[in-house]
Amino acid sequence: MASPPNFQLPVLPALEAPTVHVADAERSFRVTFTASAPPMALSPTSISMALKSPEGIDCHGNERQVLGEQAKFFNNPLLSDVILVVGGERFYAHKLILVRSSDVFERMFSSEWSDSQTKEVELVEDSLCNSVFPRFLKFLYGCHIKLNIDSTLPVLILADKYNVEDLRNVCINFACSYIIPKLQLKDVFHVWFQYATKCYHVRLIAECVQVLAEKMDDITSSVEWQREWVNLEKEQLIQFLQNSDLNIKDEFDLWLAAVKWLQSTGHPQRAANFEDNLKEIMQFIRFPMMTSEQLCQVESHTVFQQHPELFQKAFMLAYKYHALPLVKRANVKEFMSSSFLLRNYSNLRWDKRFVVSQYSACPKGAEVSFRFSTRASSFPPQTWEWELKVHPKGYSTNSDDFRVVLNSNVILDQPRPIEYHLSVVDRNQILHSVCGKKNFSKARYQTDTEMDKKVSVADLCQTDSPLLVNDNLILQIALKPVE
């Protein structure tokens, strides 16, 4: 009999990991009302009517107990109507269970695929998948599985192959929580990132990129990572370029890394489609985040010289961004897109990105502080020290105002006239901005940014708030001397 296509399975390194029991909390008998009125509107009269109605009231037993009893039929010859042969091992199975769990099994046991009366079916799996097939099959019976670092990917491959969505989600959640954060970066890149992009598992891709983003400087510029970088598929490269969490020296370095990928030898197809690749990749390079000097360096590069028309629109917008004072930028709608989002740049700049993690866990009245440095306007060059104080859920236990305060963190010998531009952002755009000017001095060393006029605690605390990214509040600020 034909079998679904095989997946290529990379080898994972050994590492201890906890086991996971996948099952709902214990449930007792429960009743669900099916009256037409919303649940909150049910009255004794509605209940009485539902009791007398022909349809009646939905009543549920203990589902977990049912699953536990069903699990007893795993590899049990009792009432078995099919035998699965995997890697030479035979498993008693029940078509009803297989078909209920997987549309692939449904097609396999349909008349279109094969003789539905066939008693024994051989499944051809990867050798490492063979060893975890009993776990996979048992999950179909009892919705329960034990996972570790060695078994998770093979089980995920089986879940993908047979399209068992529930098990797929279990494996991905387990990998993101327990495996990927503990692996060496090379293993994350070669094993999990490659498989995630091949099967387009969005959450798994995001988790891999998040881990790799912490060492983006090494990945884009070190000899150790050169082969991996230039051999990325275009879609994999874009996964990195569109991410704001990259720890990178500056945007110009990321541009040079993208050019290295574009011009790499040994990829004839890439060279043949150079212009199309350049056009697509340029969308994810944040030219406004480069300095004016760096923009000039890009203009002198051979890639720019050969395709100037592709850069024209992006560069006009970048130069416009640099030409305007900070207090004017907040009112320009063109400056709201992802091209104007900061990454985690390590070079000393006029701006900085901050993340308030796990917003929902922040207590009322708490303060989250970020100390950072910017360039100064003095000569010889020196740094200016700052502190951004964020009150995510109110300035005090009695206050419901979202507040962000900017402090000058050094004793000033002379007044420091500054303009600021503070924004709340998500993955794709700037959501809200405030700007202003302040003359910092010994007596006036802080300013309230008045972000509470644009963002409220109620906005942030609402379910699935659009102001948060995975329960994180992301801020970015730009500071410059007043000219």
Residue 171's contacts (CB-CB under 8 Å, 6 or more residues apart) are 147, 152, 153, 155, 156, 159
CATH fold for domain 344-481: 2.60.210
pLDDT confidence bin for 28, thresholds 50/70/90: very low
Lowest-pLDDT range of 132-136, 208-212, 327-331, 388-392: 327-331
Length of the chain: 483
Rounded mean pLDDT of 189-204?
A: 97
For the chain, helix, strand, coil in percent to 5 are 45, 20, 40
pLDDT at res. 210:
95
Per-residue pLDDT for 148 more than 70? yes
pLDDT confidence bin for 115, thresholds 50/70/90: low
Per-residue pLDDT for 18 more than 70? no
Question: Which of 1-10, 168-177, 410-419 is predicted most confidently?
Answer: 168-177
pLDDT confidence bin for 396, thresholds 50/70/90: confident
Per-residue pLDDT for 35 more than 60? no
Encode pLDDT of 215-274 as tens digits. 999 999 999 999 999 999 999 999 999 999 999 999 999 999 999 999 998 888 898 999
CA distance 44 to 330: 56
Parallel, antiparallel, or unpaired: how do β-strands 403-408 and 416-425 relate? unpaired
DSSP annotation of 143 reads S
pLDDT confidence bin for 410, thresholds 50/70/90: confident
Lowest-pLDDT range of 149-163, 284-298, 431-445: 431-445
pLDDT at res. 46:
77
pLDDT at res. 34:
44
pLDDT at res. 17:
44
Rounded mean pLDDT of 283-312?
A: 97
Domains 67-173 and 344-481 equal at CATH topology level: no
pLDDT at res. 19:
47
CA distance 191 to 197: 10
Global pTM exceeds 0.75: yes
The domain segmentation of the chain, as residue ranges, is 30-61, 67-173, 183-198+206-323, 344-481
Mean residue pLDDT of the chain comes to 88
277, 303 contact by CB (below 8 A): no
Encode pLDDT of 313-325 as tens digits. 999 999 999 999 9
Give the containing element (helix H, strand E) for 430: strand 430-440
Please provide the CATH number assigned to the domain covering 67-173: 3.30.710.10
